[in-house]
Structure 1
Amino acid sequence: MNEEFKIFYNGTILTMDEKEKVEAVAVRGDQIIRAGSLEACEEMVSGKVVEKIDLEGRCLMPGFIDPHAHLMMLGMCHTWIDLSYPKVKSIDDIVAELSKFKDTMKDGGMIRGFGFDQRTLAEKRYPTADDLDRVTTEYPVQIMHVSGHSNVVNHLFLEQLEIDEHTDDPEGGVIGRDENGVPNGQLYDSANDFFAKKAGVVIGNNGPNIHMPDTPDNLLTLVEVGQDQCLAAGVTTINDPQVTKQELDTFESSREKGQLKMRIVMSFLSTYLDKLIDLGFRSGFGDEQLSIGSIKFYADGSLNSGTAYLSSGYSDSKRTQGYLYHEPEEFKEMFVKAHKQGFQTITHAQGDGAIQVVIDSAREAQKQKPRNDVRHRIEHCGLPSKDQIDDLAELDIWPVPQPQHVFQFGEGVVRAVGEHGNNYSPYGWFKEKNIPIVLSSDAPVAPPNPILAVYAAVTRETLKGNVIGAEHRISLTEALKGYTIEAAKSIHKEGIIGSISEGKLADFVVLEKDPYEVKIDELKEINVCETWISGERVYAKQNRKERAVSR
C-alpha cells in the first residue's frame, strides 16, 4: 500500500457528507483516513512524514462526478471547427468559418465542424449540402449538430457515403430530402451510421453514431484532449454513456500507456446487449478506474434537433412529433432482457412519448423479475408530463438531466414546443416527489463545466439572461450534491467517491472561492485551481505552496 501521507488544511472544506464542513483532511496514499479538525488529522499521522497542502483560504470539495459525458466525442469535437453560438449566428457564418481551412486541405483530407444549432441561426433552419458546397466541392465537408444527433454534409460527401434518392430511411432515423425526394445533405439520428459503414463501428438503430472512424493513435489523442478538459473543470469521474468496442479498446490502451488519469464508468450501447449477456457480464465488472456500469438504450431523438418524440409536437419542424428508435414492444423486450441479466439501464428519452415507453418497460421488468435498488435511469428526461413524475417516483427511476441545456437551448425549446417548454428538465417536479437530483453535462453538447451547471440549476437562467421555469430552481446545496454524492449514487459508486468521507478515495477539486460565500451572479465565475485523483494532483491552474514536514 502507498504510505505517503498528506494533510489538506487552511481553507473551506465542503464534504458533501453529514459533517458538511471540516477543518482538515488526512490522506494516506489514495484514501481519505480522517476528515475533521486539524488536530485530529495531525494525530492520525503522528510520527509519519507528511506533505501539508495549504489551501490558502480556498475551497476543497469532492471531485465532480459527471454521470453523462462522452469523453472521446468531447475530444473529437474539440479538434473540429467551432460552430457554436454566439460565435456562429447564421449559415453564412458557418460557411465563412469552414472556408478558413479550405486552403490547408491535402489529398484525403476533409473539413469538419461541430456545434451548430439551427434555432440560433438567423435563417432558423438546418444548413444543406448546397450551403456546404459553398465551402468546397473538392473535399468532403461535414458539420455535426450541437446535440450530436444529426449531421449535414456536402454533395461530394453524400456521393462518398453512397446516399442518393434510392436510399431508404433507416429505422430510427431520417435522410433529409428536398421537395423532389433528393437527399439534401441532412442525416438525422441512426442515419449517421452511414459514416461508419465502410470503416468504423456500425450500431444500427441503437443510437446516433458518434463513433467516427479514425486511427488508434488519433483515438488516443481524443481521450487525452477530452480528459484534459474534464480535469481542468474539476471532473474526476465520468460515466461515458455510449461505449462501443472503439471506446473500450481506446480506454484500455490509454490506461496501459499510463495516460488515463480519471475514472470512467462505461455504459455499453445496446448494440452489444446479447453479446454481453452471452459472456455473462452485468453491471459492476471492472475496477476503481475502469468499469462496466450499465447498458445504454435510445428511445428517441433530440429536443434540440427536433427529433425527440413529443406528444405536443414542434412548431418549427416538419417532423411534428419526432420518432422512436425502436417500436415500443421491441424496446420493452430489450429492456426486460437487460434488467433480468442484472444490468442497470440508462435510456436516452427526451419527449414524453419516449419517456412513457421507458416507464412501461421498467414496470414490466420489475413485474417479471423484482430487483431492489437498481436505479434504472432516464438520460435527459427533458419534457416529461406531470403525471409521469409519479411513475418515476413509484418505479425508482433516476432522471439525469443537464442544467446547461436549459442555459444554452431553453429559449429555443420554448419557441418550438410552447409554454410546456418552461418545464424543460423539471427539477422542481422531481423535488416534489423526492426523486434524486442529479446534474451532468452531456459533453460535448455542453462543456464539462460543473460550476456553470450548478449556476444554471440554481438560477434557471439562459444564455441571454432570461429565466425559464423558475419553479424548477434548486438550492445551491442540492446542485453541488447533484454533481458529487448524488451523481456517485447514480452510478452505484457512492461507497468509494462522491464525498470527503473516511475510507473513500482521495478525489478532490480545489475551487478559487467557496460557492456559499459569493453572490449568485458570481457563482459561475469561480475558477477551478486544482484537481486531485487518488491523492495525486493531476491538474493545477497555478503553483501552490506545498511543504513536507516530519511529525
Structure 2
Amino acid sequence: MKEQYKIFYGGTILTMDQREKVEAVAVRGDQIICTGSLESCEAAVSGHPVEKINLEGRCLMPGFIDPHAHLMMLGMCHTWVDLSYPKVKSIDDIVAELSKYTDTMKDGGIIRGFGFDQRNLVEKRYPTADDLDRVTTEFPVQIMHVSGHSNVVNHYFLEQLGVDEHTEDPEGGAIGRDENGVPNGQLYDSANDFFAKKAGVVIGNNGPNIHMPDTPDNLLTLVKVGQEQCLKAGVTTINDPQVTKQELETFESSRENGLLKMRIVMSFLSTYLDQLIDLGFRSGFGDEQLTIGSIKFYADGSLNSGTAYLSSGYSDSKRTQGYLYHEPEEFQEMFVKAHKQGFQTITHAQGDGAIQLVIDSVRESQKQLHREDVRHRIEHCGLPSKDQIQDIADLDIWPVPQPQHVYQFGEGVVRAVGDHGNNYSPYGWFKEKNIPIVLSSDAPVAPPHPILAVYAAVTRETLQGNVVGAEHRITLTEALKGYTIEAAKSIHKEDMIGSIEEGKLADFVVLEKDPYKVEVHELKDLAVCETWVSGEKVFVNQDVREEVGS
C-alpha cells in the first residue's frame, strides 16, 4: 500500500513549539515530514501524488491530549440518565428525571443516573434511599455523584447489595447512615466496591469503584461512546487514570476489531501493583496506540463529595477532614515499591493532608533510589497549602488539575472550605515556582472539552458567572500548551505527540477560528471542525462544514 502524502495550508497553524506558527504542514502516512512555508512543504513531497487540504481560514493545532480522562466511565455515564447541573437543580428534579424510565423497566434492569452535585441542589444535601424510593420500590435505582466517588441507591438496591446496619465501613470509604445507624443509601469511595462483589472488578481500598459489571459487548459500546465524545472535542490521546483488567481487555478487543481510533496511555490501579512487578512490567510497555503508562494511587476522596482529606475541614459536612484510602505507612511502602520497579506514579490527592503523603513518598523514594525525570504526578492537586508548593517544585512533581472543576464546582468548594477555596487548582502558585502547567478534564466528572477548559483556566469564571481565585489565571498560550505539549510531557510522550514538528505523529485538531483572534468570552464556544489521528480524518463537524460551504 502506497503512503499517502498531504499538505495542510490556507489557515492559521499553531505548532505549540518554538516556531509558534507556520504556513503549511506536510504529512507522509502518519508522520509529519515538513513544517514551514508552503513552498518548503511542496518541495518535501515533490514527485509524489499529494492531497492538498485548504484550511479555508480555520486553525490547525496539535490534537489535544487529556492526561486524566476515564474513557469507559465517560461512555457509561453517557448511557445513564443525565443528572448534571443546571439540568437538575433539586432532589425533586432527580426523582422526576429518573421516574421517566420506570415504565420501561424489565426484570434485571437498573435505573441509573449520573452527575448530581449536592452543593448545586436547592436542598444542599445528598439524596437518600428514601428519596430514591419515590422513583420505584420494585427495581434497583442508583445515582452516581459527579465526582464518581459516591453513589446513592434506593432500599431495594441496598438490600440486593447486602448492606445493612451490621455492615461495617470499609477502609478508605464510608456507608451513609441515619441517626440510628441504619444505612441511608449513600455509599462513599471504597464502599462502591459493593456493586462489584457479586460480578465485577473488586478493587478494595485502592480507589472508588467505577467499574460497573457488564457484558463484553456492552463494554465495547462504552469505548465507542466515550471515544466519540473525545474525538468530537479534538482529543486524540488520553491517559486513562484507572485501568483494571476490565479496561485492559476491552481496550485490546477494541483495537483488534478496529474500533479504537485514538491513543490511550493506561494507568493501572494500585490493586495490580504486585502482579505487574511479578511480571516485570514498568512504565513504557506498549506501542503508539496502547501503552502502559503508570501506576495510579488514591490518597484521599473528593473535594466535591466532601471526602478529600483537608486539614481545614468542611463547613457543609459532618466529616471534618475526609479520610485517607491508606494509612501513611502503607501508602509510602506501595509508592516506594512502584518507584523502584521503574514506574511513573500518578496519585489522586485533593486535600493538603493527602498531598503531603505524596510529597513524603516521593522524597523517600528518591532517597532510596534516585531516578532522573520520573515525573511523578499529583492528580487534581486541588487544595495544597502554599508551603507545599515549594516541595512540589523541589521534587519535580507534576500536578495535573482540571480547570473545568473550578468552573463547575468552584463556588461550592469556597462555601464548603472558606476563603482558601479560592486557591482551588492554584495555577498561579505553580507559575511562581516554574512547576509545569498541565490541563485535563477528569471526564466524565467534566466533559472532555479542552476549549472549555482553556477558557476556564484563562478566566477562572464559574458556571454562575463569578470568579474564583483571579490570581490563578493563566495565559492563553500556557493553557493551550497545557492541553498539548505539556500534557504530552506529563505522559512521557513529547517525542511523539503534543506539537506540530517534523518526525512527530500527524494528530491534529482543526478549530473554526484562531483562538488568539477571538474575544475571551467567545473562547468557550469555539467549534472543533475536524479531528485527525495518524494523518487520517476521524471526526468531521457537519454543522460547521455546512456553514463553511454555504
Partner of 1:221: 221
Residue 3 of structure 1 and its aligned partner are, at CA, apart by 1.6
Q: Which runs of 5+ in 2 are unaligned?
A: none
What CA distance in whole angstroms lies between the structure 1 residues aligned with 2:154 and 2:519? 48
8 Å CA contact 1:2–1:30 kept in 2: the answer is no
Partner of 1:390: 390
What CA distance in whole angstroms lies between the structure 1 residues aligned with 2:150 and 2:35? 47
1:41 and 2:57 equivalent? no
Match of 2:529, SS state, is strand
Where has structure 1 moved over 2 Å in runs of 4 or more? Answer: 542-545
8 Å CA contact 1:5–1:49 kept in 2: the answer is yes
Partner of 1:421: 421
What CA distance in whole angstroms lies between the structure 2 residues aligned with 1:406 and 1:84? 15
Letter in 1 for 2:396: D
What CA distance in whole angstroms lies between the structure 2 residues aligned with 1:218 and 1:243? 17
Matching of residues 439-478 of structure 1 within 5 Å: 439-478=439-478
Letter in 2 for 1:176: G
Residue 47 of structure 1 and its aligned partner are, at CA, apart by 1.2
Matching of residues 151-166 of structure 1 within 5 Å: 151-166=151-166
8 Å CA contact 1:511–1:530 kept in 2: the answer is yes
What CA distance in whole angstroms lies between the structure 1 residues aligned with 2:541 and 2:158? 44
Residue 2 of structure 1 and its aligned partner are, at CA, apart by 5.3
Match of 1:187, SS state, is strand
Letter in 2 for 1:216: P
What CA distance in whole angstroms lies between the structure 1 residues aligned with 2:154 and 2:465? 35
Partner of 1:180: 180
Letter in 2 for 1:158: L
1:265 and 2:265 equivalent? yes
Change in CA separation of 1:275 and 1:2 when aligned onto 2, cut-off 3 Å: farther
Partner of 1:316: 316
Match of 1:236, SS state, is strand
Partner of 1:532: 532
Residue 297 of structure 1 and its aligned partner are, at CA, apart by 0.1
Letter in 2 for 1:165: E
- The number of aligned residues is 545
Match of 1:292, SS state, is strand
What's the TM-score once normalised by structure 1's chain length? 0.98
1:121 and 2:116 equivalent? no
Partner of 1:294: 294
8 Å CA contact 1:2–1:28 kept in 2: the answer is no
Partner of 1:513: 513
Change in CA separation of 1:465 and 1:21 when aligned onto 2, cut-off 3 Å: same
String of CA shifts for 1:242-279, please: whole Å, max 9, x gaps.
Answer: 00000000000000000000000000000000000000
Partner of 2:195: 195
Q: Which runs of 5+ in 1 are unaligned?
A: 546-551
Letter in 1 for 2:63: G
Partner of 1:548: none
Partner of 1:11: 11
What CA distance in whole angstroms lies between the structure 1 residues aligned with 2:38 and 2:360? 52
What CA distance in whole angstroms lies between the structure 2 residues aligned with 1:215 and 1:89? 33
Partner of 2:285: 285
8 Å CA contact 1:127–1:152 kept in 2: the answer is yes
Match of 1:392, SS state, is helix
Residue 420 of structure 1 and its aligned partner are, at CA, apart by 0.1
What's the TM-score once normalised by structure 2's chain length? 0.99
What CA distance in whole angstroms lies between the structure 1 residues aligned with 2:25 and 2:292? 30
8 Å CA contact 1:201–1:244 kept in 2: the answer is yes
Letter in 2 for 1:520: V
Match of 2:23, SS state, is strand
Change in CA separation of 1:367 and 1:326 when aligned onto 2, cut-off 3 Å: same
1:74 and 2:77 equivalent? no
Letter in 2 for 1:31: Q
Match of 1:457, SS state, is helix
What CA distance in whole angstroms lies between the structure 2 residues aligned with 1:460 and 1:504? 33
Identity of aligned residues (%): 88
Residue 529 of structure 1 and its aligned partner are, at CA, apart by 0.2
Match of 1:503, SS state, is coil
Residue 544 of structure 1 and its aligned partner are, at CA, apart by 6.0
Partner of 1:357: 357
8 Å CA contact 1:377–1:399 kept in 2: the answer is yes
What CA distance in whole angstroms lies between the structure 2 residues aligned with 1:357 and 1:108? 43
Letter in 1 for 2:110: M
Partner of 1:94: 94
Match of 1:474, SS state, is coil
What CA distance in whole angstroms lies between the structure 2 residues aligned with 1:121 and 1:465? 17
Letter in 2 for 1:294: S
What CA distance in whole angstroms lies between the structure 2 residues aligned with 1:108 and 1:496? 46
8 Å CA contact 1:68–1:440 kept in 2: the answer is yes
8 Å CA contact 2:529–2:545 kept in 1: the answer is no
What CA distance in whole angstroms lies between the structure 2 residues aligned with 1:525 and 1:410? 21
What CA distance in whole angstroms lies between the structure 2 residues aligned with 1:3 and 1:218? 36
Partner of 1:233: 233
String of CA shifts for 1:400-453, please: whole Å, max 9, x gaps.
Answer: 000000000000000000000000000000000000000000000000000000
Residue 522 of structure 1 and its aligned partner are, at CA, apart by 0.5
